[in-house]
Amino acid sequence: MKIAIAQINPVIADIEGNKNKIISFIKDAESKGADIVVFPEMSTIGYPPMDLLESSKLVDDNLRSMESIKEFSRNVKCAMVIGFVDYDRENPPMLYNSAAVIQNGGIIFRQDKTLLPGYDVFDEYRYFSSSRKSSILEFMGYKIGITICEDIWSALNTDNSRFMEQRRYHADPVKLLVDKGAKVIINISASPYIKGKRQVRMDMLSRLAAADSISVIYANQVGGNDSLIFDGSSFCINPKGKIYAHSKSFEEDLLVFELDHGDELQMEIDDIEDIRKALALGVKDYMHKSGFKKCILGLSGGIDSALTAAIACDAVGPENVSGITMPSVYSSSGSVDDSYKLAENLKIKINTIPIKNLYNQFNTDLAEVFDGMAEDVTEENIQARIRGTLLMSVSNKTGALLLTTGNKSEFATGYCTMYGDMCGGVAVISDLP
C-alpha cells in the first residue's frame, strides 16, 4: 500500500482556500501513485479555530467543502483521510473533531476524536464531544485504526505504564484499536512546536509501534497561527519501531512511501536550527495570513534587534524589511554605527530619525510637573515611548508590520517599557529567553 502524507499549512477559517489546497495535494498524491493520502487534523478549517467554532456558518461551510471533496474524489483512484468538524446532533450545540475516509464520492469510514485536551494552549472540551465508539477501517487488506492528535498521547503499555510523564486520561484509544485487531494506526494531528518536542514524539511513537508490533503513520499540520507554530515533521514508523519515512519540517510537504518499506532513517535534530526555522515561519505566516507585505523594526545596535531583523529577513526577504535607528542623548555612537553595519550585512533599508529635539521638548513641557524631582528611569522611558510613537507612525503610514524586539527574559523581569519598546504587532523573540 502506497501512502501519502499531505503536510499542509491551512489558513484558519479560509474554507475555500483550504479546500483548494486539499484538492491540489490529492492530485499530486494521485500522480505519484498513492493509494491513500492522509491530511492533518481539522484540515478544512485550520487549527486552532477557537471561538470561531461558535459560528454555525463556519461549521456549515466546512461541511460544504467536504461535499466538494467527496464529489472530487469520484475523479481519482486514491482514498483520502480528511480532518474536519461536524455537529454532535445528539448533544447540541457541541461538535465533533472528526476524521473521514473518502473514496469514490462517499465517506467510507469516520472516526471522531476521543481525548479532548484542556491544558496549556488547548481548550477543546469547550467545543467538542468525545467519540462514543472506535472502529476499524479495512482497506486493501489492512486493518487500520484512525486516531486524532491527543488520542495517541495516552498510549499505554501492557504494564499500564505511560509513555508520558503524567497521566491525563484513563482511556487509551490506541489500545482499544489494537485490541480490535488494528495493525496500522493513522494519527492526524495539529501538534504545536515546542523545543525538544519533535524528539519526544518520535521516541514515544517508536516505542508504541514496537510494543504493539504496529505501523504508525503520523500526519501533522505545519504553519504559524498567531502564538502557535506547527512544525509538521510528519513520519512513519514500522512495527519494529523504526522511522523509515520523514517529511520536511517547518514547510509544506507531500511525503509518499510504501507501507513498511524503506531503510531506517537516522534522525538528527538541531534545537537551535529548529528554533530559528520556527521563529521565521511564525513571522512569515503572521504577515502572509494577515495581509502584510513588509515589516519594520527599531534598530538599537543591540543583539535583540539584530536577531529580530535577521529572522525577518529569513522569513520574508531583506527587500521587505526596513530598520529605523533613533539616536538620543542616551545613545552611543556605536549603536548607530552598529545598526548601519547590520543593515549593510543583511541588505535591508535603514533610516535615521534623531529624537534628541523631541526628547528635550518633552522635558521642557514636563518641567513644571516634575519640579524638584530627581531624574530617574522616567526620563529613559520617555525616549522609549518617543521611539514607539515614531515606529507606530511609520507602520500606520506605510502599512508595514512593526516587529517588537524584546526577549522573554526582559518581559519576565519587567525590563521593558509599556507603550515604548513593547509597541508592535508581533513580538518575534518574546518566547525566547
In angstroms, rounded to a whole number, what is the distance separating the alpha carbons of residues 201 and 212?
17
3-state helix, strand and coil shares in percent for the chain, rounded to the nearest 5: 40, 25, 40
Q: Which of 113, 277, 289, 294 is catalytic?
A: 113
Give 63: exposed, middle or buried? Use CB within 10 Å, 0-12, 13-18, 19+. Answer: middle
The three-class DSSP label of residue 153 is: helix
Single-letter code of the amino acid located at 32: K
In angstroms, rounded to a whole number, what is the distance separating the alpha carbons of residues 25 and 254?
7
* Active-site residue, 149 included: yes
What is the torsional sign of CA 378, 384, 387, 391? negative
User: Of 305, 310, 314, 312, nearest to 336 (Cα)?
Assistant: 305
The contacts of residue 165 (CB under 8 Å, 6+ apart) are none
Single-letter code of the amino acid located at 409: S
Q: Which three three-digit cell numbers place residue 106?
A: 462517499
* Active-site residue, 113 included: yes
* Active-site residue, 41 included: yes
Q: Which of 21, 124, 149, 284 is catalytic?
A: 149
* Three-state SS sequence of 93-141: CCEEEEEEEEECCEEEEEEECCCCCCCCCCCHHHCECCCCCCCCEEECC
Q: Which three three-digit cell numbers place residue 163?
A: 509513555
> Crossing angle of helices 303-316/271-290, nearest 10°?
60
Q: Which of 41, 183, 277, 284 is catalytic?
A: 41
> Crossing angle of helices 356-366/377-398, nearest 10°?
120
Angstrom CA distances, 433 to 225, 302, 313, 399, 412, stand at 21, 15, 21, 30, 9
User: Of 73, 75, 71, nearest to 103 (Cα)?
Assistant: 73
**Catalytic site residues?**
41, 113, 149
